[in-house]
Structure 1
Amino acid sequence: MKILCGTTNPAKLEFMRDMLCGLDIEIIGLNDMKLTIDPIDENGNNPMDNAKIKALAYYKAAKIPVFSCDSGLYIDGLENENQPGVYVRRVKGKVLNDEEMIEYYTGVASKLGGKAKGKYKNAICLVIDEKNIFEYDGDDIASGSFLIASKAHNKRNIGFPLDSISLDIETGKYCMDMECHEKQKDENRMKKAYRAFFSSAILK
């Protein structure tokens, strides 16, 4: 089955291809389709709201099965009204680029004592057709807890800027310095959950 991944972010596209590698699915991105679509107003209150908004909009435009993902960042020590949530890139109405995000969140960490504990909650919505819409936002596709540093690593992961200020909660290593095998446990958990979600939806 050919499925459109509702993102123009090449890093996110490759991430999902890796998560679903081996399933009988061909994943293409928005840039492959060359769709003309108006900007989508991601005005949901949580990751699932936004994942569904995007998936339905892209399905309407592409007329093929589509899935979209969305994430929300939640940081210990911040009041509810100050949580980034689904507005990780939007601060006071401004959409931040990668470097602006790094600057902003290192500032948040500084205000919280130099390091802050965070976690991503993730959601996915798959639209096969108008009558077959599948949603999931379980804890097994959320990130593990990590630390946000007040000082950025000098390396960058294009499309995932906060990797440069994320520290492993057990070792204190920057994400950018971790070996593949050190990230494997978290990735294996997420991969198992994503694959189960797609397998269940497609087989129905």
Structure 2
Amino acid sequence: MKEIVLASGNKGKIAEFRAILKNFKVLSPKDLNLNFDVDETGNTFYENALIKAKALYEVCKLPTIADDSGLCVDALDGAPGVFSARYSGGTDADNNQKLLRALDGVANRTAYFESCIVYYDGIKSIAATGRTFGRIAMEAHGEGGFGYDPLFMSDDLGKTFGEASETEKNGVSHRARALAELAEKLRDEI
């Protein structure tokens, strides 16, 4: 089984990649005893994913996959966007509370999750993007998922990602869509 190192320490994201990429042995930096952290200085999801993929490759010399993703809210001009994970400077719960405060009294709550995934093997990089659409609920629903999942009411599922099973979420998520596109692009590469 081909090994790929995922440039993430996020347990939820690692589990999601492993569940979707069943034909690969997805390793985390922790699995390789690496203390990996890189500043995400890009202005786009693609730039941040590429920065992470290249930096991790330089450390492990194995093919890498890096994802940068986030929640983009139409009424907030795409915010929190590339700053999704650090929107409040605190925890997921803090981010969710800041988002709800920002949308207090706002009728248009449409939003989408976007994921850009970059594969890098030291020679070439291949990127894919996926989106899933929905709206921001008035309050959190469900205990599943991570990040903004309890607030994101999926158009595809009719419930929040926090209420969805892992299988349901992985069937329609932005990462699943980006991974499917990436797998198609990589069919002859790996």
| TM-score of the alignment, normalized to the shorter chain, above 0.5 | yes
1:8: which partner in 2?
9
Q: 2:128 aligns with which of 122, 131, 136?
A: 136
For residue 121 of structure 1, report the CA deviation from its aligned partner.
1.8
Distance 1:87 1:156, change over 3 A: same
What's the RMSD between the two structures over aligned residues? 2.5
The higher radius of gyration belongs to 1
Of 164, 174, 192, which aligns to 2:150? 164
| 1:16 Cα deviation after fit | 1.1
Q: Where do 5+ consecutive residues of structure 2 fail to align? A: none
Q: 2:41 aligns to what SS in structure 1? A: coil
Aligned twin of 1:106: 100
1:31 maps to what in 2? 30
Task: Tell me if structure 2 keeps the 8 A contact 1:107–1:150.
Answer: no
TM-score (norm: length of structure 1) = 0.79
Query: Are residues 181 and 7 of structure 1, via their aligned partners in 2, closer, same or farther at CA, if it must alter by over 3 Å?
Result: closer
**CA deviation map 1:87-117 (0-9, x unaligned):** 01223xx52211101111122232423x611
Distance in 2 separating the partners of 1:70 and 1:167: 21
For 1:135, give the aligned amino acid. A
**Match in the other structure for 1:89:** 85
Q: CA deviation at 1:35?
A: 1.0
Q: Percent identity?
A: 24
Provide closer, same or farther for how the CA distance between residues 127 and 180 of structure 1 changes in structure 2, counting only shifts above 3 A. closer
| SS of alignment partner, residue 172 of structure 2 | helix
**Alpha-carbon distance change, 201 to 120 in structure 1, aligned in 2, over 3 angstroms:** farther
d(CA) in 1 for partners of 2:179, 2:150: 23
SS of 1:174's equivalent?
coil
4 and 120 in structure 1: CA distance in 2 versus 1, 3 angstrom threshold: same
The number of residues matched between the two structures is 187
Counterpart position of 2:172: 186
What code does the residue aligned with 2:125 have?
I
Query: Is the contact made by 1:164 and 1:176 (CA closer than 8 Å) also made in structure 2?
Result: yes
Q: Distance in 1 between matches of 2:105 and 2:113?
A: 20
Give the counterpart letter for 2:57 in structure 1.
Answer: Y
Q: Quick check: 171-180 or 102-111, which moved more?
A: 171-180
TM-score of the pair, normalised by structure 2: 0.84
Aligned residue for 1:122? Answer: 115
The 1:200–1:71 alpha-carbon spacing in structure 2 relative to 1, beyond 3 Å, is farther
Partner amino acid, structure 2, of 1:36: N
Q: Report whether the alignment pairs 1:150 with 2:138.
A: yes
Aligned residues of 1:76 and 1:118 also touching (Cα < 8 A): yes
